[in-house]
Amino acid sequence: MTDTTHPTICVVCEIKLVKNGRNTAGNQRWKCPSCGASSVRKRADRSRLFTLHRFLNWLLGKHSQAETESGGTGRSFRHQIRWCWHLRPKVPVTGVVHDVVEIDGFNLRTGWCILAARANGKVVAAQWCARESQAAWGELFKRLPEPAVVVCDGGPGMHAALKEHWPKARVQRCLVHLQRNIRNTSLPGRERLLVKRCGASL
């Protein structure tokens, strides 16, 4: 039986197809030089990759599901991406001991949160969670050997997990986070508290 998902041979005339330009989506069209039948090659892997890119663009972007669907209600888009939620990307555990590890949590617009640890400019561990709790941070720290220095912000769950799993690591408050916190408040007392938490003296 002729493979209709890979139309290099016409299913009617059984002769080799020729290229016939591209459709509006940019896909290669194929045409039979005998009967003139035209078709587009169907590739499930490319379709899934395209759907995955749409899912990631929506997940990390600012558009709603309806806006992603270009005028629809978002129902078709939710149906197309439902398999994407079952993907569980994993960062391989190498056991390498890093001198400095940067950790931070990112709240996504979907209501979920992802915790990440970075060393030498690369993500070395990640953890999905509902919120930045001590238990969630603990699961992240279990995947990495204790570093010499940890650069982080001032989350309470994070520091409790650091004392439990990486008690010997020196903690350096992220100066970028500190600057943002100070600029977002106009209360002198709040500023003094932030500086004290950073370990500085007034």
Domain boundaries along the sequence of the chain: 44-86, 100-197
What was the pLDDT predicted at 2?
Answer: 42
**How does residue 93 score in pLDDT terms, banded at 50, 70 and 90?**
confident
**How does residue 20 score in pLDDT terms, banded at 50, 70 and 90?**
confident
Which of 3.40.50, 1.10.10, 1.20.1260, 3.30.420 is the CATH number of 100-197? 3.30.420
pTM over cut 0.95: no
Rg, Å, the chain Cα set? 26
pLDDT in tens, 97-126: 999 999 998 887 777 888 999 999 889 999
**How does residue 165 score in pLDDT terms, banded at 50, 70 and 90?**
very high
| Measured distance CA(194)–CA(197) in Å, rounded | 5
Long-range contacts of 128-135 (CB under 8 A, 24+ apart): 131/157, 132/105, 132/157, 132/158, 133/157, 134/158, 134/160, 134/161, 134/164, 135/161
Looking only at the bridges linking them, the beta strands covering 18-22 and 28-31 are: antiparallel
pLDDT at 28 over 70: yes
pLDDT at 186 over 60: no
